[in-house]
Structure 1
């Protein structure tokens, strides 16, 4: 059985720079997958979960696992969906799954090793088919085009690179670009002159995407005593 121990590595900056990139990548992937799993389970069960509590609990558990020589872990979408579809709703279902898995490894390990790999692959394929929401393909034509582009880009990135964190990063980046473009389209500047005071009233968000429209609305050659910029 594993025992409590302190990792036997030199605590230096050189060691830190070796470990840090991998640690950040593993933590990001684990956190993202756990949050995605929690959101999917919330939708399936029509309930709400405390994402902050889940994240803190996962971090503490992974730190403790490291001191016992274990590997980092996170919630898995496939197993969680199967658990919910099988009727699991409480912590007892996850505890029972872990206990049975431990029993199979410790007691039935030799017999489990006799299961051919193609059989396990077939099981995973059927699990993937069962967990995929096939109706989402039909609804894809009704979604906004930008949302569909973000979704497809995320899926293709994850499948092509096998990196969940990179796929989510691509999706977030595209969403940010589309959002900036959408916000820039509702930007408007109106100008009025009253009592020798030129007033520019800005409606919408003033940022890099709308800066050009903002400057184009300004008359820098006009000679007036006062210029007022209304951003309210």
Structure 2
């Protein structure tokens, strides 16, 4: 018996916890911050702000709100995500992935409902990060991510057809009625709006090819505003549609809380939280791949939660890490989170100085920006890769997730996609488990039975080797093998040397098999089980005297008084 003195206590997790939740801004400043670094961050921040200015307004309009809501989000959430986040390069703000979700919440619950849902989502994100659950977000299957991303892209593009064509018809929220309304309104197409949209798309795509470092989005909206104003084209603008953009942030306000309202928006809040977590961590991973750095996922989620709460209080919409803007920040030379903070401050300055000029931006130009964004996030190549190269199960998951995102609801799409992918994974894992006796593999034939070849040299003892995780998906295969031993043996050895884990279903099934073997007069020895396996088995009464544990197969034979087979 040993007693630990106060000087020899085990290391406490406090320091590691502090490190896990220390913002990267603090880390970067502790490393030393020079004037050269500030200059690089300022240039990167300005570059990203120029990209974010028209994009934030376009996303807010497409989300069923006003353009100033997008700017409020980019300023407030963008500042806090960079100041508190776990990535050196993350740029936060409104993103296109939220358009479908936010628009539906505004349609059903109004803007107050969106504010309440975003506040709840922020609290959920903080809880997920504080409980260190951020690492589990990466387990959302790739086909599900690609499926709902492609579905969002389709929904975004369809929602922009109205402004691309200069239509004035009100559009329903559901996809099929929206398509029908757009088709019926086609005769009302405004040629001037179409021309502005084509000009904007042409400039964005052309500049990406010949001058990729130039701010294509900003150049496109400036050119569109100059053409529309100079030629006196009759197209809708931010000023004509929304009355312009304010110069300053509004005062923070709280929405009206009620239990009924909270209950009504809770599912939408969970969708916002999940989508924000997935996209922000994907963006951080992309940044890590581009820079060789490592982000702190749980710290990032806490920052995302705080940022969403603050955005909602200041009249903004849902926010998350923006992959394209984060990549722009890195390419522009951003070195620390200060670039993201400066990006938010530059946006606030733009709003203060240029708010009257923003009123001249045509809605067709903003719709053109989102049409290009929709194409970019559709991941066409990845969709084609899964549909042509992956297993049939992955194809089904992608197609089902995409279809449900477009025609039903993003929340349902993610839930069904993840559950279906999980079932497919469990099936594959169960198929990967092998049960052999002696040197002969036990497999399931077409008649759904298992054959078992008993080793001739040791007819009184049956040896089963189980390779792979012994979980509920593989339970039937293993139990069926134990039931097909032919004549009752004197003893059964279960070689668990290659079993990394066992769950409650498998442990319960094994207990039943052991009881059955004992009633038949057969002794059961479990060989090579790891400590975690032994502990799990003991919890389900698979322990002495019902069974005997042995270090390995040779020790099991020795315990039975048998020579190990040669």
TM-score bracket, normalised by the shorter chain, equals: 0.7 to 0.9
2:353 aligns with one of 103, 107, 130: 107
Aligned pairs (5 A) from 1:75-114: 75-114=321-360
Please report the RMSD computed on the Cα atoms of aligned residues, expressed in angstroms.
Answer: 3.8
Matched ranges for 1:65-214 at <5 A: 65-126=311-372, 144-145=390-391, 149=395, 152-153=398-399, 156-157=402-403, 160=406, 168-169=414-415, 171-191=417-437, 196=460, 198-214=462-478
The 1:70–1:117 alpha-carbon spacing in structure 2 relative to 1, beyond 3 Å, is closer
Alignment CA distance shift 1:142-1:41 (3 Å) = farther
Deviates more, 1:1-10 or 1:158-167: 158-167
Larger Rg: 2
Aligned length: 230
Aligned partner (choices 516, 520, 524) of residue 228 of structure 1: 524
Offset at 1:169? 4.4
> Residue deviations 1:70-112, cap 9 Å, x none?
4332112232233333333422332232223223333322211
Paired with 1:96 and 1:111, the residues of 2 have a C-alpha distance of: 22
TM-score (norm 1): 0.74
Contact 1:150 1:175 in 2 (8 A): no
Residue of structure 2 equivalent to 1:59 = 305
Q: Could you tell me which of 265, 277, 284 is aligned with 1:38?
A: 284
1:8 aligns with 2:256: yes
Tell me the distance in 1 between the aligned counterparts of 2:408 and 2:327: 21
2:479 counterpart of 1:219: no
Say whether the 8 Å CA contact 2:276–2:321 is kept in structure 1.
yes
Q: 1:177 to 1:92 in 2, by over 3 A?
A: same
Indicate the SS of the match to 2:524. strand
CA distance in 2, matches of 1:122, 1:16: 36
> 1:51, CA displacement in angstroms?
0.9
Tell me, yes or no, if the aligned pair for 1:36 and 1:77 is still in contact at 8 Å.
Answer: yes
Q: Aligned equivalents of 2:340 and 2:287: distance in 1?
A: 13
CA distance in structure 1 between the aligned counterparts of 2:325 and 2:404, rounded to whole angstroms:
19
Would the alpha carbon gap of residues 206 and 219 (structure 1) be closer, same or farther in structure 2, given more than 3 Å must change? same
8 A contact 2:401–2:416 mirrored in 1: no
Write the distance in 2 (CA, Å) between the matches of 1:165 and 1:37: 21
For the Cα contact (< 8 Å) 2:433–2:468, is it kept in 1? Answer: yes
- Once the two structures are TM-superposed, the CA of residue 151 in structure 1 deviates from its matched residue by 8.1
Counterpart in 1 of 2:264? 18
Distance 2:406 2:274 in 1: 18
Aligned counterparts of 1:185 and 1:199: Cα–Cα separation in 2 = 21
Match of 2:94 in 1: none
After superposition, the Cα gap between the structure-2 partners of 1:42 and 1:131, relative to the gap in structure 1 and judged at 3 Å, is farther
Cα deviation, residue 28, structure 1: 1.5
Rate the CA distance shift 1:18–1:133 in 2: closer, same or farther, 3 A: closer
**Shift in Å, 1:144:** 4.8
Bigger CA drift: 94-103 or 128-137? 128-137
- The 2-side partners of 1:58 and 1:184 are apart by 38
Distance 1:159 1:81, change over 3 A: farther
Once the two structures are overlaid, the 10-residue window that deviates more, 199-208 or 131-140, is: 131-140
Q: Is the 8 A contact 1:153 1:171 kept in 2?
A: no
Q: Distance in 2 between matches of 1:179 and 1:124?
A: 36
Q: 1:184 to 1:67 in 2, by over 3 A?
A: same
**Are the aligned partners of 2:279 and 2:322 in contact in 1 as well (CA < 8 Å)?**
yes
